[in-house]
Amino acid sequence: MLLAEYRNKNLSRCFPRLGLASLLLCLISGAILSFHYRPMGNVFQNVEEITSVVPYGRFFRQLHYASGQLFVILMSLHTLDHFLRRRYRTFGPRQWSLLIISLALCFLALFTGFILKGDKEGLFAARIFMNILRTVPLVGNRLSNFFILPGDSLFFLPYLYHCIFLPPLIFYLLNAHTREWLPDASFLLVTTVGLFLFAIFIDPWMDIPPDAIVGLVKGPWFFLGIQCLLRFLPPFYAGLLVPGMVVLCIFLLPVAGKRLGKCLHYSILGVLILYALLTLKEFLFGP
């Protein structure tokens, strides 16, 4: 009942505006970082040099990391807010689908960014993603080659997606939905101050060298639930089929009838809560 009565209009107004402000900072800091980032050769060493040798490199890396994370978290909360208030009924199925696709692409951008760190976590995430894609029947190998190539150029395609393909595609998909691309001055100020303070005072998490031996390697926070599922289910089911079914159900929300819609709504809500619990379990206790 609490969820059904969820009516916090102020927060609903804040999420997208703060999100746009963080997107702006994310793009600026990303463009600055790209002057020194090289996706070939020893990527880990390159990232460490950016962080520790290049002037203000640590600041821009942290700013890019925090603004990207904040943008995707706020977009997820914005979508969740619409979902809880059943606003998907007011969207047409096409517009709703495009918005869900754009949110999925935001997560893909975050994931490619995680890979581009070039450390052990990024390297393993790339390999796991590649091997999960290979489990798709018939087209698996071709599909994985479309996103990641093994060997020396492992980071090249994620780099292309992260810097060149995904940002304009996300802009294009969000364009019909966004009233004004430039956020209000007050939101921009609050976001800038908050993210700058984070970038100045919070050190980057310790990057694990690719050849270091560690007992446990974790994926990005939003895939921890899938990492947990991968221990029990075959990769195709845990990595593609189950998440794909959930996304398909979300797509169907605006076109489902009243009864089916209600059923879908509560099923998705249940799956989201379960996924949050799985993520928390994986984060706190690991394997």
Partner 1 sequence: MQAKRVRINQDKGKKCMDRRAFLRNNLFRVLCSIGAAVLSYPILAFLTFRKPRDKRVIFHLLKDPQPILYKEGVFLVPIGRSHRALSARCTHLGCTLNYDPVSLKFRCPCHGSQFDISGKRIAGPAKRDLQVLPIDKKGKGELVVTLKL
Evaluate whether 25 touches 192 at the Cβ level (below 8 Å).
yes
Which residue's entry shows tokens 């809880």? 84
Evaluate whether 150 touches 92 at the Cβ level (below 8 Å).
no
- In the complex, minimum distance from the CB of residue 190 to partner 1, in angstroms, rounded to a whole number: 38
Which 8-state DSSP code applies to residue 209? Answer: P
From the list 215, 248, 284, 285, which residue makes contact with partner 1 (rule: CB under 8 A)?
Answer: 215
| Cβ closest to partner 1, residue 21 vs residue 132 | 132
- In the complex, minimum distance from the CB of residue 234 to partner 1, in angstroms, rounded to a whole number: 8
Closest CA to 59 of 193, 204, 237: 204
| Cβ closest to partner 1, residue 100 vs residue 126 | 126
From the list 2, 3, 213, 248, which residue makes contact with partner 1 (rule: CB under 8 A)?
Answer: 213
- In the complex, minimum distance from the CB of residue 263 to partner 1, in angstroms, rounded to a whole number: 32
Question: φ, ψ for residue 136 (rounded to 5)?
Answer: -65, 130
Q: How is residue 32 written in tokens? A: 């600055």
CA distances from 198 to 151, 154, 202, 228 (A): 35, 31, 5, 30
Evaluate whether 88 touches 96 at the Cβ level (below 8 Å).
yes
Say whether residue 235 binds partner 1 (CB under 8 A): yes
The window from 58-66, 93-101, 173-181, 215-223 that contacts partner 1 (CB under 8 A) reads 215-223
For residues 112 and 154, what is the distance between their CA atoms, to the nearest angstrom?
Answer: 11
- Contacts (CB under 8 A) with partner 1, residues 97-136: 124, 127-128, 130-132
- In the complex, minimum distance from the CB of residue 3 to partner 1, in angstroms, rounded to a whole number: 34
The window from 31-39, 161-169, 189-197, 210-218 that contacts partner 1 (CB under 8 A) reads 210-218
65: CB partners within 8 A, 6+ apart? 113, 204
- In the complex, minimum distance from the CB of residue 245 to partner 1, in angstroms, rounded to a whole number: 20
- Residues of this chain that interact with partner 1 (CB under 8 A) are 124, 127-128, 130-132, 141-143, 145-146, 149-151, 213-217, 227, 230-232, 234-235, 287
